[in-house]
Amino acid sequence: MLEGIKKAFASLTDKIKTTTLSESEIEKHVESFKLQLISNDVAVDVAEKLAAEVVERLKTIKVPRFSERREAVMQVLEESLSSVISEVDPDSSFINLVKSNYSSGKPTVVLFVGPNGGGKTTSVVKVSNYLKSKGLSSIIACSDTYRAGAIEQLKGLAERVGVRVVSHKYGGDPAAVALDAIEAAKAAKISTVLIDTAGRTEVDRNLLEEMRKIKRVSNPDVVIYVGDALAGNVVVEQVKRFNEYVGIDYVILAKLDADMKGGSAISVSYMTGKPIIFVGTGQGLDDLEPLDKKRLISTVLGHAS
191 pLDDT band, cuts 50/70/90, is very high
What pLDDT is recorded for position 304?
A: 44
Residue scoring higher pLDDT (253 or 60): 253
pLDDT at 67: 57
> For residues 117 and 112, which has the higher predicted lDDT (pLDDT)?
112
Which domains are assigned to the chain?
Answer: 3-82 (1.20.120), 91-292 (3.40.50.300)
pTM of whole model > 0.85? yes
Q: Quick one: pLDDT at residue 20? A: 66
Average the pLDDT over each of 34-38, 93-97, 220-224, 229-233 and give the range with the smallest value: 229-233
Estimate to the nearest angstrom the gap between the alpha carbon of 57 and the chain centroid: 28
Amino acid found at 224: I
Q: What is the pLDDT of residues 256-284, one digit of tens each?
A: 877 666 677 788 888 888 899 999 988 89
Q: Which amino acid is at 203?
A: V
Residue 40 has pLDDT above 50, yes or no: yes
